[in-house]
Amino acid sequence: MLSEKLLAAINDQIEHELFSSNLYLAMAVYFEAQSLPGFAQWMRVQSDEERAHALKFVDYVNDVGGRVKVHAISEPPSEWSSPLDVFENVLRHEQKVTSLIYTLYEIALKDKDYAAQSMLKWFIDEQVEEEKNASLIVEQLKMLVDPRGIILHLDHRFGKRGAD
């Protein structure tokens, strides 16, 4: 059984995951408006993944007999100055999510909730991948000499995400 503290923190995390989904959808819409459909596709896939993360938490709470409380989701930003600005925001956001997951894990440790620790291990591993991907894209965008040409190349590459 989940402690009240861990249950409340997981319910908050569900809200954060759904916000992340909306944030990435807003970024996809931004890229569509910038005529960058590949970047938009990358963000749509990311948005779907974040929603799946929220549902993973929902399923876990239900599986252990807890009660999910669905919170209101804040409106995400909708404008950025460049693809680099978008991905710098993605990286900062993923770093914040990582810290939130670590906080959940710390609560589970204090509660000696081994089932929650096991479930949260998956999220910890996932955050390593999320931060790595965002960091790599930020670094690649920073290396651009002629942003217009390479952005179109990267846009094409990102457009293949999820099409395999």
The model's confidence at residue 154, banded by pLDDT at 50, 70 and 90, is confident
What is the model's pTM?
Answer: 0.89
Sign of the torsion formed by the C-alpha atoms of 128, 133, 135 and 139 = positive
The rounded distance, in Å, linking the Cα atoms of 160 and 124 is 26
The domains of the chain, with CATH numbers, are 4-158 (1.20.1260.10)
d(CA 158, CA 41): 7
Residue 159 has pLDDT above 90, yes or no: no
Give the amino acid at 129.
Answer: E
Residue listed under structure tokens 């938490």:
57
Over the stretch 11-36, which tens digit does the pLDDT of each residue have? 999 999 999 999 999 999 999 999 99
Q: CB–CB of 109/117 below 8 Å?
A: yes
